[in-house]
Structure 1
Amino acid sequence: MAQTGWDDGQALIPPDMYTDWTAVALLLLTAAPLAIVVGTAGFFIWKQKRSSQR
């Protein structure tokens, strides 16, 4: 049986795996504005509901 170098249970992450920082940056660049839009919309909806209850 061929040994891959990380099947001995010593390493949790295989050494040939890496973090693609471009993917992380793109995720943050899309998730942050989306969170801002959702937060702003939620704030205005909450404000409108609160003012209509008075």
Structure 2
Amino acid sequence: CIKMLNEWTYGTRLSSFLNGIMTLLVEPNVASPFGTDSCKKAAEFFASKGKARISASVK
């Protein structure tokens, strides 16, 4: 996520950034200090219910 923010330019599309966030939610880096149980639970929720909700909102 930090890498995406550091590489952000005015030409970067918002959809690319949002896809990166969705990937982070589905596949969190468990080796990261932020890879806690809450991250794993959020990934499970997003994979089961959240992705459809967010996709519907973005359209």
TM over 0.5: no
Q: TM-score, normalised by structure 2?
A: 0.29
Task: Flag the structure with higher helix content.
Answer: 2
| Bigger Cα Rg | 1
Larger relative contact order (Cα-Cα within 8 Å, sequence gap ≥ 6): 2
